[in-house]
Amino acid sequence: MHESRPRILLAKIGLDGHDRGVKVLARSFRDAGIEVIYTGLWQTSEVTMHAAMQEDVDLVGVSLLSAAHMTIMPELIRHRDALGISDMPIVLGGIVPERDYEPLKSMGVAATFNPGSPMDQIIATINELAANRQREDVESCITGYADGQERALAGLLTHVQQGREFDNWKPPPGKALTIGVTGAPGVGKSSFIGKLGEALCDRGLKVAVLAIDPSSPVTGGALLGDRLRMMSIRPDANFFARSMASGEVLGGLGPRSEQLVAIMKGFGFDVVLVETVGAGQADVAVRKIVDHTMLLLMPQAGDAIQFSKAGIMEIADSFVLNKCDLDGADATEAQLRGVVGGDRLLWRLATLRNEGIDVVADYVTSKCSAEQPTP
């Protein structure tokens, strides 16, 4: 059985202007051995709970400094219950008058903390709530998965991550094109995937993402920040994202990544994108579980000698030169093309400016069409 660590989704809902405090919490939780998914500022209740459902977290933590807790928390609970995950606890932290603690508890908030709450107390509460959460069993998830229930897909992924046996059940083969997206830390993989996923959904495709971030070698906790770059203003029924920690797995992947990809494929997605941990030259494991590998680079990230070295440069089926709004893009492209030649595709992008995404999306769409059987 794979060691199961508590997973919490931290959310800033509403119009709070900064997230310094919640980032301190995220790091403290990581240092306590917890896996933390942070979704960023200015989220809505609907998007937050939809993300929590896909991630199948043990609990949701909400940080509010705007004194809007008596308005936002009922809305959050309503969306939670509508998604069929009423067993998922919600905790609240922020500037909350003590007179509101009991009404919040009555409406279903599992715990409320103020800025003076001891960190040990907060972490103990998270661990207790995570340990007591009851999930659907494997058989129920398999049945719901076969019926196309997204909640069941999320639950099934959790069972796989925790090492539970399936009594010889296997997902359908599926038809999804699987694409590995790899590259060094900070090169823009998550932002690229978010924009590419949006463009593919606009083209009528169903997209799933498995996003992997590193686990702490000291505590085993993890800050899973990839989803932050993929959040939208409203849930999209055609886009599914799941974050996971690398654990003790080397090579850029996480525990049972291949099984998780197979389950996503079998659910009926057209494209499954696998985002690796920020990769080094020898992190090449992703090529074994995908059909196509994209390597992201950025200007001034190397020269012709670096680009000629063995390892990650060899496994790429295509190259994405991202952040081309930065200095040095032309020189890097010229050196990269000199090494790559004409055998492998190379695209220039500036993801945050939405420049170049459509060309990549058109290519992926054409690959998906080519994979479809002739009627």
One digit per residue, pLDDT tens: the chain, 375 residues?
Answer: 345 899 999 999 988 778 888 999 999 999 999 999 999 888 999 999 999 999 999 999 999 988 899 999 999 999 999 999 999 999 999 989 999 999 999 999 999 999 999 999 999 999 999 999 988 999 999 999 999 999 999 999 999 999 888 888 999 999 999 999 999 999 999 999 999 999 999 999 999 999 999 999 999 999 999 999 898 878 899 999 999 999 999 999 999 999 999 999 999 999 999 999 999 889 999 999 999 999 999 998 766 667 777 789 999 999 999 999 999 999 999 999 888 887 899 999 999 999 999 999 999 999 998 766 543
Total Cβ atoms within 10 A of residue 97: 10
**Strand intervals (E) in 46-205:** 59-64, 90-94, 111-113, 177-183
Q: What is the pLDDT of residue 15?
A: 80
Structural domain contains residue 240: yes
Residues 366 and 250 in one domain: yes
Residues 183 and 43 in one domain: no
Q: What is the pLDDT of residue 233?
A: 76
How many domains is the chain built from?
2
Q: What is the pLDDT of residue 333?
A: 93
Residues 99 and 203 in one domain: no
The answer to whether 89 and 104 have CB atoms below 8 angstroms apart is: no
CATH code of residue 46: 3.40.50.280
Structural domain contains residue 158: no
- Cα–Cα distances in angstroms (integers) from residue 157 to residues 145, 254, 258, in the given order: 10, 13, 11
Q: What is the pLDDT of residue 275?
A: 98
Total Cβ atoms within 10 A of residue 16: 17
**Final residue of a structural domain among 74, 98, 132:** 132
d(CA 162, CA 130): 14
Total Cβ atoms within 10 A of residue 330: 11
Name the residue among 267, 237, 272 with its Cα closest to residue 257.
272
pTM for the structure as a whole: 0.95
Residue 348's domain comprises 177-371
d(CA 227, CA 209): 10
